[in-house]
A and B are shown apart, each in its own frame.
Chain A
Amino acid sequence: MSTVPDPQRSPEQPAHRVDKQVEVLERVVIRFAGDSGDGMQLTGDRFTAETASLGNDLATLPNFPAEIRAPAGTLPGVSSFQLHFADHDVTTPGDAPDVLVAMNPAALRANVHDVRPGGTLIIDTDDFTPRNLAKVGYATSPLDDGSLEGYRVHALPMQSMTVEALKDLGLSRKDAERSKNMFALGLLSWLYERPTAQTERFLTAKFAKRAAVLEANLRSFRAGWAFGETTEAFPVRFTVPPAPAEKGTYRNVTGNAALAYGLVAAAHRAGLPLVLGSYPITPASDILHTLSGLKRFDVTSLQVEDEIAAVGAALGASFGGALGVTTTSGPGLALKSETIGLAVALELPLVVVDVQRGGPSTGLPTKTEQSDLLQAMYGRNGESPVPVVAPSTPADCFDAAVDAVRIAVKYRTPVLLLSDGYLGNGAEPWRVPAAHDVHAVDPDISTDPNSTADDGMTPQFRPFLRDPDTLARPWAVPGTAGLEHRVGGLEKADVTGEISYDPANHDRMVRLRRAKVKGIEVPDVTVDTGDHAGGHDHADSDLLVLGWGSTRGPITAAVREARRRGLRVAQAHLRHLNPLPANLGEVLLAHEHVLVPEMNLGQLALLLRGRYLVDVISCNQVRGLPFTSTEIVEAIEDVVAGRVRPTPRRDAR
C-alpha cells in the first residue's frame, strides 16, 4: 500500500470517462449542511476557493452553532455553509439554495424548507436510520414518504462509498467515515466543473505530517469526483462561466482576514508598529489569530487576561508610539468602555474593532447582528465622541480598516470599527491592492517643543496645543527628550494639559473634543439612482433605501429587483456613522421616503431622526442572519404602495 498520491489517478483524468451533457448556468446557490463535526465549514471553504479561482463572483454565509460539538444528529447541532456564485456581480449569499447537500436527517430537516421549489437535494443516506430519523422528529423517512416530491433528490450512501474507497488503508470505520465531507466535495466539484488542484494542494499542506489522513482525504475527494463521472445518477453537469471583472490580481478573502490585513497594511504604510491587545471572543477571534501570525510585519499580538486588559495594553502601546489595536465583539466592547473613554480624554490613536453578534449579554455568539451601533456611539460616560466606521462587505473590511487607522492617527482619537459576524466569516473575491494604493497616514510624532514659555524664548512642549485644522493634539512619545509630560483621565487645561477643574475650561474641552470628531474628513455619501432617473435629481425616486454595514449586499440585490419590477428606488450606503457625511441631511430631505433596513430595532433610524428630524421608515429583523433580498423588496413595495408610512406627524392628524 502506498500513501503517495498516484498522479495517474488524478480526477481530471478518470479511468472511465462517461460523456455527459454540460448545462451552462448564470448562477447557483449551494448549501452544504451536516453535523457540526462533519467538516461542513471546511467543505464550504474549499468549494468557495475553487469557485473563486475560476473567476465567478461569489458571496458566502457560514452558519454554525455556538457549541463546538452539539449532540450528534440533532437539529441544534447542524452546521451549514451557503455559497452563491455567478457569472455576474453577486451581492448576497442567496435567499434560497438551488442545491442542498445534507449529510444526515437533521441537516435535511433543518434546511430543506429553505430550498427553492424544484431545487436539488443531494442526501447522504447512511445516517437515515429509524433512530436518527426519530431524533429529529421524522415519523417516516422523507426519502420514502413522498415529502420530497417537489425536489430533485439524489439519495446516495456517501458515507459507505467513502469507507469502501478507503478500505485498504487500514483505518477504523470511524476514521474512514470522517472523510465523507471530501467525498461530497469531490462530487460537487465534479458536478459544477470546479478545478481541483488547489484543494489537493491544500489537503497536502494541511495533512503534511499525517500521511494516512492525507491519503484518506485525497482518495475520498477523488472518489467523489469519480463517482460523479461514472454514475448514471447525474446525467448532466453544470458550469457557471466567470464573471466579468476589472483587471487585477484577485483572491478570495473573509471579512476577518481582510480586516486584519487592512490594519497591517495601514500600519506598515504609516511606518508604525502595530500592537494588538486582545481576548478571544466569537466571532472576532480570527482577527487575533491572523495578526498573531504576522510578527514579521512588526505586529505584536498580546492575548491578555481580559477585555479590559486588552484595550489597556493597546492604549499603553499607543502612548509609546505604536498603533494600538484591540479586537472584540459586543460583550467585550461593553467591558472596554471605560478605557475607550480614557483614550478619548488622552487623545491618543486607538482602533477598537467590534465584530458584532446577536445580543444582549452573551446573546447569539455565532450569529450576526448590527445592534452595537448605539453602544459604539454612546456607550461611555460623559460627552465622549468616538468616530465610527463600518465596512459593508467582507473585502471592504480591508478598506474600512485602513480608513479607521487614518482617522485614529491623524486625529489622535480612538476609532470604532463596526464589522459583524456575517462580514467576518463571510467571504468574497477581492481585488488585491498594490501597496502604494493603501493610504499612508503620516504619524507626525513630535520631536521638538511646539511653543515657548511665557518669556517667549524658552522652548516648551504643550501637549494639548492643537493643530488648527484638525484640532488634533501632538503625539509625543516617551524617549523624546524635552517633551516629558503627563496625561490622564482628569480634565486637562486646554493647551497646557495641566489638571484643571475650571468650569469654563471643561466646557471648552468638551466642545473641542466634539468639534474634532465632527470635523473629521469623510467623503460625501453617494446616491445610486439606477437608470430610472436618467440624470434627474433624487426627487425622481419614490424611495431612498439607506443602509450601513453588512446590509449592503441584500439592499443592493433588493434595489435591483425592485427596479426590475419598475419601481424608482435610489440607494445609498453609509461607511461613516460618526461623523456622518456632510451631505447626508440634504440627501435625506431630497427623498419623500427613506427606508432604513437594519439588523437591529432601528438604531441608525434613531440617530437620523434625532439629527435631521427626518421620519425615516425602519425595516428591521434580528434573526441572527443577514436580510434576504426578498424581505427588503417586500419592504420597498410596502412603502411605495403606501401600505407602510412614516409615523403621522402632529400637523397631519
Chain B
Amino acid sequence: MSTPLGLPTLRSGTADVPSLPDGVRLGKKDFTSGSEVRWCPGCGDYAVLAAVQGFLPELGLRKENVVFISGIGCSSRFPYYLDTYGMHSIHGRAPAIATGLVASRPDLSVFVVTGDGDALSIGGNHLIHAMRRNVNMTVLLFNNRIYGLTKGQYSPTSEVGKVTKSTPSGSLDAPFNPVSLALGAEASFVARTLDTDRKHLTQVLRAAAEHRGTSLVEIYQGCPIFNDGAFDVLKDREESVARLVRLEHGQEVVFGAEGSQKAVVRSASGFGVEVVGLEEARAAGREPVVHDVETADPSLAFALSRLDEPTMAHVPVGVFRAHSRPTYDDGVRSQLDAAREASGGPGWRAGDDDLEALLRGGDSWTVE
C-alpha cells in the first residue's frame, strides 16, 4: 500500500544552508586548511582540490555549514585539506555516513569524496542505495581506474586484461561504467568531467552542488604512479576534440573538429544511439539527438553513457542527467514535521507530559 507523501516542491540543493551575510565573500584561502597536502607529484587530485577550493566560495555558503566526508583511498584524504567540517571515514562507507548526517541536518551542504575502488568495489552497495534514495549530497567519484593507496592493483573500472601486481596474467572482470551504473540506479544528477579541464570541472561541480538530490560526478583523474597515461588521449588537444562528446542541455549532440564533425543519432534499431558523420546524417534525414538533462526517463542519458568504451573513441562528458525528484532527506523530515503537527499543530514539540503519556501507554493501572 502506498501513501501520497505530500512532499515539498524541489528547491536548490543548498536552499536550506545558511548563506553568508550580504557583502561578505570568502576566497580560496578560507577553504584551505593548514594541513600539508600529501599526494604524489603529478597526481590529478591536486587539480580537483584546487577546483573545489576555488568554486566553494562561489556557492556563497557559510563554510561551517559545509561538510566533506570521505572513505579510504588516495582521494579520501581530501577532507583534511579543506577548512570545513570533515570526516575521513572507513572504506566504502562514506555515502552511508553522509546519509545519516544529511537526513538529520538540512542546513548542511554535504560532499562525499570517494574513488573507484571505494565507491564501486567495497562501497558499491551504499552508493547505489544513496542514489536510488536521492539523498541530498554531492558525490565526487575520482576515477583513476587503479588502486593507488595499496600500490597498484586493478580496480572495478580497470579495463579487461589490465596487468598489475595482483593480475600478472591480466584482469578478467569487465569494468563498471560509473555513469551507466549511476543512471541505472536512477541517480537524479549524473555527470562526468576531467581533472585536467578546470573550467568544465568547476561548472559541473557547481551544478552538482546546487542540485537537490544525490549528484554523482565522475572525475577522470590521472594517477601518474600506477596508471600513468590512462587518460592521455583525452588530454591531447587534437585527440580530445575528436573524442570528447560535450553534452549540453537542449543542444544537439555533435562533436569533433570543424570539417569532420560527428553526430550522435538514434540507432537504426530504435534502441540506443550511434555515432555517424554529421553531414552524412543530415543528408539521410537523421537528426542528431537533442540532449535533455531534465527528462524523467533516463533511457537516452543511459544510451549516451554507452558511447564510452575502453578505447575512449567517444567519451561523453558533462551533465547526463539533472532531474528533479523528491529527496529522501526532505521526505524523512516532512514525516517528522507531519507527526509533530498531528500531535499539537505547527511548531509542536513533545514535552515531559507527552513522554509520560507514551511510557504509560494505553493499558496502565495504578497501585495506590
**Stretch of B150-158, B206-214, B294-302, B335-343 with 4 or more beta carbons under 8 angstroms from chain A:** B335-343
Q: How many chain B residues touch A (Cβ–Cβ < 8 Å)?
A: 63
B85 interfacial contact with A, CB 8 Å: yes
Among A305, A481, A498, the one with the most B-chain Cβ atoms within 10 Å of its Cβ is: A305
Question: Quick one: which of B324-358 are within 8 Å of A by CB?
Answer: 332, 335-336, 338-340, 342-343, 348-350, 352-356, 358
Shortest beta-carbon distance from A508 to chain B in Å: 21
Task: Report the separation of the CA atoms of residues A250 and B18 in the bound assembly, to the nearest whole angstrom.
Answer: 47
Give the residue of A49, A296, A316, A487 whose beta carbon is less than 8 angstroms from that of B350.
Answer: A296
B107 to chain A: closest residue by CB? A479
**Stretch of A63-71, A413-421, A427-435, A540-548 with 4 or more beta carbons under 8 angstroms from chain B:** A427-435
Question: Quick one: which of B74-131 are within 8 Å of A by CB?
Answer: 79-80, 83-90, 93, 96-105, 107-108, 125-126, 129
Give the residue of B64, B342, B366 whose beta carbon is less than 8 angstroms from that of A479.
Answer: B64
B284 interfacial contact with A, CB 8 Å: no
Shortest beta-carbon distance from A450 to chain B in Å: 16
Shortest beta-carbon distance from B125 to chain A in Å: 6
Give the residue of A250, A313, A342 whose beta carbon is less than 8 angstroms from that of B365.
Answer: A250
Give the residue of A313, A438, A482 whose beta carbon is less than 8 angstroms from that of B64.
Answer: A482
A268 to B350, Cβ gap below 8 A? Answer: yes
Fill in one digit per residue for A478-496: 1 if any B CB lies within 8 Å of its CB, else 0: 1111111111111000000
Give the residue of A478, A488, A498 whose beta carbon is less than 8 angstroms from that of B105.
Answer: A478
Fill in one digit per residue for A43-65: 1 if any B CB lies within 8 Å of its CB, else 0: 00000010011010000000000
Task: Report the separation of the CA atoms of residues A58 and B360 in the bound assembly, to the nearest whole angstrom.
Answer: 18
Return chain B residues, CB-CB under 8 Å to A342.
Answer: 89-90
Fill in one digit per residue for B16-40: 1 if any A CB lies within 8 Å of its CB, else 0: 0010000000000000010100000
A432 to B364, Cβ gap below 8 A? Answer: yes
Return chain A residues, CB-CB under 8 Å to B80.
Answer: 486, 488, 499
A422 interfacial contact with B, CB 8 Å: no
B278 interfacial contact with A, CB 8 Å: no
A365 interfacial contact with B, CB 8 Å: no
Shortest beta-carbon distance from A349 to chain B in Å: 13
Task: Report the separation of the CA atoms of residues A623 and B363 in the bound assembly, to the nearest whole angstrom.
Answer: 34
Give the residue of B107, B356, B367 whose beta carbon is less than 8 angstroms from that of A435.
Answer: B356
A192 interfacial contact with B, CB 8 Å: no
Fill in one digit per residue for B235-277: 1 if any A CB lies within 8 Å of its CB, else 0: 0000000000000000000000000000000000000000000
B359 interfacial contact with A, CB 8 Å: yes
Task: Report the separation of the CA atoms of residues A158 and B365 in the bound assembly, to the nearest whole angstrom.
Answer: 32
B342 to A296, Cβ gap below 8 A? Answer: yes
Return chain A residues, CB-CB under 8 Å to B101.
Answer: 316-317, 319-320, 478
Give the residue of A308, A315, A480 whose beta carbon is less than 8 angstroms from that of B100.
Answer: A315
Task: Report the separation of the CA atoms of residues A535 and B179 in the bound assembly, to the nearest whole angstrom.
Answer: 76
B196 interfacial contact with A, CB 8 Å: no
A484 to B356, Cβ gap below 8 A? Answer: no
Return chain A residues, CB-CB under 8 Å to B103.
Answer: 275, 300, 302, 313, 317
Q: Assuming A295-B335, A295-B336, A302-B99, is B85 touching A249 (CB within 8 A)? A: no
Return chain B residues, CB-CB under 8 Å to A433.
Answer: 359
A484 to B126, Cβ gap below 8 A? Answer: no
Shortest beta-carbon distance from B28 to chain A in Å: 15
Task: Report the separation of the CA atoms of residues A300 and B335 in the bound assembly, to the nearest whole angstrom.
Answer: 9
Return chain A residues, CB-CB under 8 Å to B348.
Answer: 296
B365 to A479, Cβ gap below 8 A? Answer: no
A484 to B367, Cβ gap below 8 A? Answer: no
Shortest beta-carbon distance from A268 to chain B in Å: 5
A261 to chain B: closest residue by CB? B359
Task: Report the separation of the CA atoms of residues A268 and B368 in the bound assembly, to the nearest whole angstrom.
Answer: 28
28 pairs, CB–CB < 8 Å, chain A vs chain B: A247-B367, A250-B365, A251-B360, A265-B359, A275-B103, A296-B339, A296-B342, A296-B348, A296-B354, A297-B350, A297-B354, A298-B336, A298-B340, A302-B103, A305-B129, A309-B125, A309-B126, A338-B93, A339-B93, A433-B359, A477-B85, A478-B105, A486-B88, A487-B86, A489-B88, A498-B35, A499-B35, A499-B80
